[in-house]
Structures are given as C-alpha cells and as structure tokens.
Amino acid sequence: MKPIPSLADLAFEELKLPHTTARADDPGLPGFAPFVRGPYASMYVTNPWTLRQYAGFSTAEETNAFFRQALAGGQTGLSVAFDLPTHRGYDSDHPRVTGDVGKAGVAIDTVEDMKRLMDGIPLDRTSVSMTMNGAVLPVLAFFIVTAEEQGVAARALSGTIQNDILKEYMVRNTYIYPPAASVRIVGEIMAWLSAHAPRFNSISVSGYHMHEAGATAAQELAYTLANGLAYVQAGRAAGVNMETLAERMSFFWAQGMDYLTEVAKLRAARGLWARLLWQLGVRSPKALALRCHCQTSGWSLTRHDPLNNVVRTTIEALSAVHGHTQSLHTNSLDEAVALPSDEAARISRQTQLILRHETDACALIDPWGGSLEIKQRITALATEALALIEEIDAAGGMITAISQGIPQRRIEHAAATRQRRIDQAHDRIVGVNCHHRDNVEPIAIRNIDNRAVREAQVARLAAVRASRDQQRVNETLAALEHAATTGEGNLLELTIHAARARATLGEISDALERIFTRHNAVVQVMTGAYGGSMAPDDEIQAVRDRVARFAASNGRRPRLLVAKMGQDGHDRGAKVVAGAFADFGFDVDVAPMFRTPEEVCRQALDNDVHVIGISTLAGAHQTLVPELMTLLNDSGAAHVRVVVGGIIPDTDHDALCSAGVVAIFGPGSRLPDCAHQVLDHLDPA
C-alpha cells in the first residue's frame, strides 16, 4: 500500500467531479467529494436515516417477538445482538459458557435458531445488521441458509455484517483466531458477498467499541480508518476489485456527549476516507463516499438517576443526525443497570421518531455547513487522526501495530485520564459527581433466567444433532479444515455447506480452530496513567498512606487480583481499576481474559492475594461469582476478600453479599473511594 499522505497532501488536484477544488480543507457540497457535508446531495430531505434497534436477549423466540414489535412501532431495520458464547465460537453446552448463555444477546447455535430468530420477517424486504466478528463465518452462513429456506436468494438480501475483527484485538476481545487468520476470513467473506450478495455490506468498520473503551474522538477516527485501510488490502488480496469493495464498506461510530466534536467527527471521517482512498487510486464517487451507522454511547449512561439518560441519548442522537449518519440506534435509559426493558426500548425508539417528525432535522440538508467552529474542529480532528494513522503505517500496518500494543496503550491511557478527571469532578456528570440526588426511585429492569435459557438451548442442540446426517456433517467440516490448511476454496462458501448440513456454530469454529489455533491476548497493567494524569492531590496521597501503613503492619503491600470471568470481553473498567490501584500502591495482578471460577481461584491461591476484584458487564456474575465463593471456601481461602464492579442491578446485590462478596461498585464509583473500602475490609484499623 502507498505511504499514508500528510494532511497537506490530501488534496483533490486531479478529481474530476463537480464542485471540488484542490484545497485540502474545502468541505465541498453535500453529495460531492470529499463528502464532508454528507454523502447524498439532498440528505434527509428525501431519504431520512434508517431507524435501527440493536437488540437480542434470551432465546430466539423472545428476540423475534421484540423485533416484530419494533418493526410495527416504526423501526425500519433490524440490528442483532448475539450472546457472548456465540461471539466466541462456543455452543451453549460448552463448559466455559455456563453463565453467559442468552445474557447479553441472543443465543444462536444452529440454523434452526436463526430460523426462529427471523421467523415471519421477510428477509427480501428487511435490512438486517448483525454485530458479529469472531464467529462471523457460521453466523453469516446460518443467515444465508435461513434466507434460502424462506425462498430468498442471497442476491436479494440487504444489510450489513460487522466482520471487523481488528478492533476486537484492541478493545472488545470477542475474537477466536489470531489476527492474520481472522483477516483472511474477512477477505474471503468480502469476496463471496461481492459475487453472490451484492446488496449486502460485507463489513462495517467499527470505531464504536474504541470510544466505549475510552478512546478520544481523534483516536476513534484514526484507528477505525486505519482498520478500514487494512481491510481494503485484505479484500484486494482476496481478489475483490477495490472500488467494488469500497462501495459496499460502511462504518460504525459512537456518539458521545461532546456534541460539537461528535458532529465534526463524522464529517472529518468522510473527508479523510475520501482523500485516503483517492490516494490509493479509487475514483468511483460511490466508493469515496463513506456511509455509516451510529449508536449513542452506552458508557455515558449512568445508574444514578437513570431518567437523565433519556436526555443524554437525545443529545447524542442529534449529534449523529447533524453529522449525517445513514442509520442510528439509540440506547435505552436502563442500560447502565441491566438489559433494556420493553418500556425503555420503546422510549429510545420514540426518541428517534420525535427527532424525525417533531423537529426540522429532516427539513434542511446541512444546518451546520457554514459553521466556523465545526470547520475548525474538523481540521483539528483530521490533523491529529492523520498523525496517529502515520504512526500505525510506520509500524508496518495495523496488524503489526496491534501486536506491539500501540493503539491499545493509547486508548487505555485516554480511558484512565478521563476516569481521573471524572473522579476529581473536572469533567462533570450530573447525578454522579455533581447535583447528586438521593433516594431515587428504582426502575423496573429486565432479568434473564440464564439457567432456563441454557437448558433450552442444550436441549435444542441435542435435537439437531440427533436428527441430522452425521456423515454429511463430518464431510463438510473436513472440507472446511482442508480449505483452512491449503487456502483452496472460499471459507464462507464451505461454511454455508456445513450450515445446510446442520453443523453447529461450535463445531464449525472448532474445525477452524484446529488449523488456525485460538488467540490468547497478553494482559498488562498500565501504571502512571491514572495517578499521573494530574498533579498529585491529598486524596490519592491518603490512599497511598493507608497502603504504606498496611505494608508496615503486614510485611507486604495489599495484593489485588483483577479478573473477568466468563466470555465478557469488555475490559475498560478492569484495566482502569488495575492501573489506578497500582498507582495507589497496591500490588496488582491481572488474570488472563475469559477465566472460569476455577482458574481465578487457582491464580488467587498461587499468587497469595488479599482481594479479588471481579469486573462484570454482561450479567454472568449471577452464576459465576457464587461459584467462585464456593471454590474459595472449599480451598481454605475464605480469608480472601472478593469485591465486584460493573453493571450489577440492585436486585442482585443481596444474593452476591449473601454469597460472601464484601463490596459492590457500580458505574460512577470513584476509584479512591473504592480503594478505601477495600482497605477497610483488609485492615479495619
């Protein structure tokens, strides 16, 4: 690939399109390169954004009912959330996923599950977006076979498969195979869809999860576009025409609370992408026009006074509209507490309808087009993002940069710095660190009976295995392994054959894992980011003094093991906590990702820790934390204190405390306060 050009070089001297100048900072007009002011000339005046609702929980039948209700309520496209075992390539009966089945999305083990999920939904007339990256081959194959059995050809399908694996190694961690093998899969999916399903987008390059992990707006821009360039290379290596590929690529951005920056971010993204592709030789206006989906931030939602979250989501949704998104999901007010309730989901859906029908958001093509402030922010974001892209390019590309930890370290540093600013109330959050209201009435939440869902899925798996032709399954899986080994044949096409034979998601993933292996990330603690992000203060020093007194009394410093159990890969909180407690003076160990209770217990005993901190965001704590407490007691380690942090509904607190958990820290907890509480339980004096 050609070297990444500097900002000054990103001009359009040769671009033979209307209304385009050679000035690199010229935003042009809506619908014309470099598309800063929107990818379409008339924008929402003639074609409003698509209303999507990212959803999935429990069983396929329950999610299907939710989808039907949403479509009837004005939603114009579906966006599917899969549970974590599905993301990680495990069938629901695998011993490593006992606490995760159906908790943070819908469980899909076979074609039959996908058929139940899409029952009664006409796939030739409904755009379907699927957030899937690790187990992208079986999930996409199940969808294609489901459409076939509805009588819908692949060519009639519309929607998007996320298929963006590189960001998983940076922030979200729902990977299966090592990066090189995974990028090969991305390219082969692009090739098959380009030939057989030309209306279906083969990739949605996601910055959303980077934002949620703590990335700044410039980092989200830079690393997402750098990933996009890597996928262009992968598609080209798989034989896909670069312009054809770019025409079907889309992007996925997070919308946070810094309204003007978020408006500018989407505009900067389109301008940068058009110019970067132009430098690579792309000339098709459709290919140069970056199209995107946006989702309001989940991280900005608070468990304190959650009705305030309706306002936050509205502001973020409007920034997406004024940035000119092509589709939008609005988060629900209760997502900092639990999965969205039906009422909360209805309110989030109505938020978009109100913006569309009760404001003039669709009446003007580009209300921010003449703003000097927006233009200055675009330039600043583009300049900073290009410097980061050049750093990635100098490292040898994104796969090499990820292996060196370059984007991970920058994002983790930004997350720790932001947390310190919130803890010191430099960044104000109403209801959390200012204008706090006591005695807020609890809200009704959705609770998933994980055991019941898992039992149902296990029974369905057994029924599928009993009714299929096992020899045919074995033959299709052997063909898949052969292709993975030799490079002969398209992996998606061969996975479709296996899906037709009713091979399960876990069996397909295992067949590829035998060749590609399973990726295991090395987790490291970043110190100095939290404690050193601002001038030392009395608050941090008070914690350090207590740690020093503990060390003097006990002969060593307090030792903390930070762990995530189950298949929850969202580790922003775990990393920030680990780094902050290390800055406070604790000895900190971090467990590898995706641990079982047995593995966490063993590491805690081997390292002789005083306290275990469990980070949980996906609901598996209800099952896995009590298991851990039982193992500690049975091992004679009842003296080891256990604290839990993350998204934990109030209704779960009593059960966790009864199991022996000594402290629970929800979203918005201040880290110095958390450290004092931990020390209170270790050394009450």
What sections of 523-620 are H helices per DSSP? 538-554, 572-584, 597-607
User: How far apart are the two ends of the chain, measured CA to CA in Å?
Assistant: 62
Residue 500: CA atoms inside 13 Å, Cβ hemisphere, count? 14
For the purposes of burial, counting CB atoms within 10 Å of the CB of 552, is it exposed (0-12), middle (13-18) or buried (19 or more)?
A: exposed
> Of the candidates 343, 390, 394, 369, which has an alpha carbon nearest to the alpha carbon of residue 264?
369
Give the Å distances, CA to CA, from 297 to 347, 420, 498, 558, 649. 16, 19, 37, 35, 19
- Enter the tokens of residue 282: 């792309």
Q: Of 337, 274, 281, nearest to 309 (Cα)?
A: 337
Please check whether residue 445 is in contact with residue 337, taking contact to mean a CB–CB distance below 8 angstroms.
Answer: yes
**Cβ atoms of residues 258 and 300 within 8 Å:** no
Query: Phi first, then psi: what are they for 643, rounded to 5°?
Result: -120, 155
Centre a 10 Å sphere on the Cβ of residue 150 and count the other Cβ atoms it contains: 16
- Cα distance between residue 679 and residue 389, in whole Å: 43
Query: How far is 297 from 315, CA to CA, in rounded Å?
Result: 11
Q: Are 412 and 529 in contact (CB under 8 A)?
A: yes
Please give the Cα distance from 539 to 546 (Å, whole number). 11
- Please give the Cα distance from 396 to 508 (Å, whole number): 32
| Cα–Cα distances in angstroms (integers) from residue 256 to residues 61, 360, 597, in the given order | 33, 22, 35
Tokens of residue 459, six digits = 């029974």
Quote the CA–CA distance of 610 and 28 in Å, as a whole number: 61
Catalytic residue among 570, 575, 610, 621: 570
Residue type, 424: Q
564 noted as active-site residue: yes
Rounded-to-integer distance, Cα 522 and Cα 479, Å: 32
Dist CA 304 CA 439 (whole Å)? 10
Catalytic residue among 177, 208, 223, 530: 208
Q: Is 568 a known active-site residue?
A: yes
Quote the CA–CA distance of 131 and 77 in Å, as a whole number.
Answer: 14
Catalytic residue among 54, 177, 223, 530: 54
* Catalytic status, residue 570: yes
Residues classed as catalytic: 54, 208-209, 564, 568, 570
